[in-house]
Amino acid sequence: MSEISPRHDAENPPREPGDMAAEANRATAAEQNMGLWQGLRTYPHAVGWSILFSSALIMEGYDSGLISNLFAYEPFARTFGNEQPNGTYQVTAAWQSGLTNGALVGELLGLLVNGVVAERFGYRKSIIGSLIACLAFVFIVFFAKSLPVLLVGEILLGIPWGLFQTITTTYASEVCPVVLRPYLTTYVNLCWVIGQIIASGVLKAMEARTDEWGYRIPFAIQWIWPVPIMIGVFFAPESPWWLVRKGRIEEARQSLLRLTKPDQDPDFNADETIAMIQSTNELEKTMSEGTSYLDCFTGTDRRRTEIVCLTWAAQNCSGSAFMGYSTYFYEQAGLADTNAFTMTMVQFIIGAIGTVLSWVFMGKFGRRTLFTGGLVGMMTVLFIIGCVGIISRGNTAAEWAVGSLLLVYTFMYDATVGPTTYSLVSELSSTRLRTKSIVLARFLYNLSGIVVNIITPRMLNPSSWNWGAKSGFFYAGTSAICLLWAWFRLPEPKGRTYAELDLLFEHRVSARNFGSTYVDPFAVHGDSQVEKRNGEPSVEIVEHI
């Protein structure tokens, strides 16, 4: 194990190599004992920089909310749609699916690129390059006069968004201590919701316009975010974890000092924290030397890859696509288009409130409990929607009930499964393979999203499968499958350092025992034993290092 190279002076003499394990242990104990307010006082700059990085995802949420709602916007439909017998204009269902999935296809390409680019060039340079690409690609959608050109623009915009999806979550998980990880990683979900709220508000403001600027102005607004974010990211510190993986130890130390206020916590020591990061990196190297995509499917990382991939896929498989159709059910109930769009804004605001409340719930219940509990609640609501769907045809009260139940579903999703996923995927992947693990997880998420975006409109469309609200039965069933998997396979990472999680996976501790297992990853001596705590079986692991 290589020695850390800290700043040496009269007060900080050179350390002996044997001191590293003891320093790593002290840093681990300091993180575990750190409370929320102490974490905010010690890591205020890390919070600010993480929020800045995550704000890039507002653009993705904005466009996803914009493009789906433009189909119902008359100036857009008149330009890109076909005239109907009643004199109105509609974009065909095939092109609706194509444009909706276009960005997802681009994101798949961006995810593949990101797995190599981010680890080679770092998070700062990668996200700056992605923001520059966004500035260029917005020109295509802004000046598009045909659906094929618009589709090309959406696909190209999806490429930098694919990088945003992983870099923002990874950066948030690496620059903050254990106590702040769930809040900064789930803030990513809030940024996505904020983007949707802004898109709904912009379209509401454009409602009175009848010319092409009614949809061009919303596209042009996407030029606003990249420049200020790019300037901020240019001055941001790089992740200390990435710098340690590159062997740039002194730079990692300087970066850590820029992320923190050491004088706010007497237990904080930059050298000890770097020792913990380096020791964790060395520990993972002994378990898995490689950092390629293939390594994500070997040894203990195979299990970790399965967990992060299926956790993210569960977002789509538990019926989240249904949230986009509350406007449809309100229109079926006879609500005017303008009021239906207003209710859509209310839905997104409810989602934002749910995300904020998830921060409280995660601290109280933990990630695993919140994720599985959310699946139970969402499955129940979807089943009720299916039951109401049996009588909803031509029944205004029933259509109102379905639309209102979707608001309840939105709150449940954004208070549980939605934001918790971001915390889980960033915590349960190994630090050396985190970027690639998150890329694979998001890749599966996007693939499942494409499938969902194809089948859900057909479920609801009267000219296709014509299931209507009875589609709730289908997604209640898929939610039950996700719940069964999560119960047996999803561990609880609450309060765990990355080194502790490494050893829990290395010793193949079952998902349900993660919370009750004691781990000492940087012990200088010890062995492994099994004991009972509070009457419950628990594995105590003490590893040599």
What is the C-alpha separation between 232 and 263, in angstroms, rounded?
A: 25
Q: Tens digit of pLDDT for each residue in 494-534?
A: 888 888 888 889 888 888 888 788 877 665 444 443 343 44
pLDDT beyond 50 at 538: no
* Percent of the chain with pLDDT strictly greater than 90: 34
| Cα distance between residue 404 and residue 401, in whole Å | 5
Mean pLDDT, range 94-104, rounded to an integer? 82
Q: Does domain 46-236 have CATH number 1.20.1250.20?
A: yes
pLDDT at 50: 94
pLDDT confidence of 208, banded at 50, 70, 90? confident
What average pLDDT is seen over the chain? 83
The predicted-structure confidence for 329-361, as pLDDT tens digits, reads as follows: 666 656 666 676 777 788 888 988 999 999 999
- For the segment 140-198, what is each residue's pLDDT rounded down to a tens digit? 999 998 999 999 999 999 999 888 888 888 899 899 888 898 889 888 888 888 988 88
**Residue 334: its pLDDT value, please?**
61
Please say if the pLDDT value at position 456 is more than 50.
yes
pLDDT tens per residue across span 282-323: 877 776 556 678 888 988 889 999 999 999 999 999 988 888
Q: Average pLDDT, stretch 199-219?
A: 86
Residues β-bridged to residue 519? 541
DSSP string, 43-94: SHHHHHHHHHHHTTHHHHHHHHHHHHHHTT-HHHHHHHSEE-TTS-EE--HH
Write the DSSP symbol of residue 3: P
Residues 388-404: tens digit of each pLDDT: 888 766 677 777 788 78
Q: Is the dihedral of CA 152, 154, 159, 162 positive or negative?
A: negative
Residue 408 burial (C-beta neighbours within 10 Å; 0-12, 13-18, 19+): middle
The per-residue pLDDT for range 213-222, each reduced to its tens digit, is 988 999 999 9
Number of other residues whose CB lies within 10 A of the CB of residue 498: 27
Q: What is the pLDDT of residue 281?
A: 83
Quick one: average pLDDT of 97-115?
Answer: 84
CATH superfamily of 293-492: MFS general substrate transporter like domains (1.20.1250.20)
